[in-house]
């Protein structure tokens, strides 16, 4: 099943995982997949940590999920550091394995590009190659606050619009405020681009996670930090976690009310917080419950 087809049929809900790099991580991910499978997500995506070994783990995990027939999968691909021939072969391998959904990413440019053979600098080049190789449904990344390497917000939006014209949909970096998504979608529309943009959801469940999220390009708003600090003063880490999950659930409802084409949950390979948010929004049959009337 193609993700663009799923999006055309109505709002989606999707979960993102990263490939395990140890037996312990593999055990955790297996349990998480089994648990979240019961929620009947529209699709799941698997990230790519970088390097040949990680790329193979992503390939193995995605193709295993696809072969199981229980879940629709999407593979993340990073093009920087690859030759066109190598990337073309990777794309063909996915098609042969029955995987038709890919997330086209650029990746980090090496400090010394001369040390790495690369025919790519930007994700749009990978989107173009995927179109050349086969009938893929192609997703791209969107950064509501701007890509870290962008020289300006205007430049970021211009390049994102160009990329999304060629792709089928976008998935955002995790965000924390409704306005981040609505502003992004509105600015893309000014370029005539109205492809689906899935907002990324990841609850802040610890105060120690706040600076890490900022380093990842998604600073936690001061109002949310204050809310978590108040919870911590009242009930410690458990209260912080509950408040973070509650805030993510509220944001999810706001996004759906505003017309978001779905929700994309960053799971960190664990199911508990994602399941809690999901259950606040959807019923046991996967249909949105809607807000209770006052």
Instruction: Tell me the domains of the chain and their CATH numbers.
Output: 3-280 (3.20.20.220)
**What does the pLDDT read at residue 287?**
76
pTM here?
Answer: 0.92
Per the CB < 8 A criterion, the answer to whether 244 and 207 are in contact is: no
pLDDT < 70 positions in the chain: 49-51, 108-117, 283-286, 289-294
**What does the pLDDT read at residue 292?**
47
187 has catalytic annotation: no
**What does the pLDDT read at residue 204?**
94
Question: How far apart are the C-alpha atoms of 15 and 67, rounded to whole Å?
Answer: 18
Choosing from 16, 66, 187, 243, the catalytic residue is 16
């Amino acid at each position: 099943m193609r993700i663009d087809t799923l999006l055309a049929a109505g709002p989606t809900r999707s979960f993102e995982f990263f490939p395990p790099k140890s037996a312990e991580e593999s055990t955790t991910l297996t349990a998480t997949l089994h648990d979240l499978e019961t929620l009947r997500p529209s699709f799941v995506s698997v990230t790519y940590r970088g390097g040949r070994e990680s790329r193979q783990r992503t390939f193995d995990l995605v193709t295993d999920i696809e072969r199981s027939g229980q879940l629709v999968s999407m593979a993340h691909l990073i093009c920087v550091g690859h030759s066109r021939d190598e990337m073309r072969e990777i794309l063909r391998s996915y098609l042969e394995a029955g995987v038709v959904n890919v997330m086209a990413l650029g990746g980090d440019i090496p400090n010394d590009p001369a040390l790495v053979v690369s025919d790519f600098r930007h994700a749009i080049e990978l989107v173009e190659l995927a179109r050349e190789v086969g009938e893929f449904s192609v997703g791209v990344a969107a950064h509501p606050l701007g890509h870290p390497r962008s020289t300006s917000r205007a430049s970021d939006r211009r390049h994102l619009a160009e990329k999304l014209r060629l792709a089928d949909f976008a998935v955002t970096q995790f965000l924390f405020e409704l306005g981040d998504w609505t502003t992004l979608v509105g600015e893309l529309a000014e370029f005539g681009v109205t492809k689906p943009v899935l907002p990324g959801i990841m609850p802040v469940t610890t105060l120690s996670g706040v600076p890490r999220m900022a380093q990842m390009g998604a600073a936690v708003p001061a109002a949310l930090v204050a809310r978590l600090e108040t919870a911590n003063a009242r009930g410690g880490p458990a209260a912080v976690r509950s408040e973070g999950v509650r805030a993510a659930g509220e944001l999810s409802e706001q996004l759906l009310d505003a017309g978001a084409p779905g929700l994309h949950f960053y799971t960190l390979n664990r199911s508990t917080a994602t399941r809690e948010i999901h259950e606040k929004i959807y019923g046991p049959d996967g249909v949105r419950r809607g807000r209770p009337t006052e």
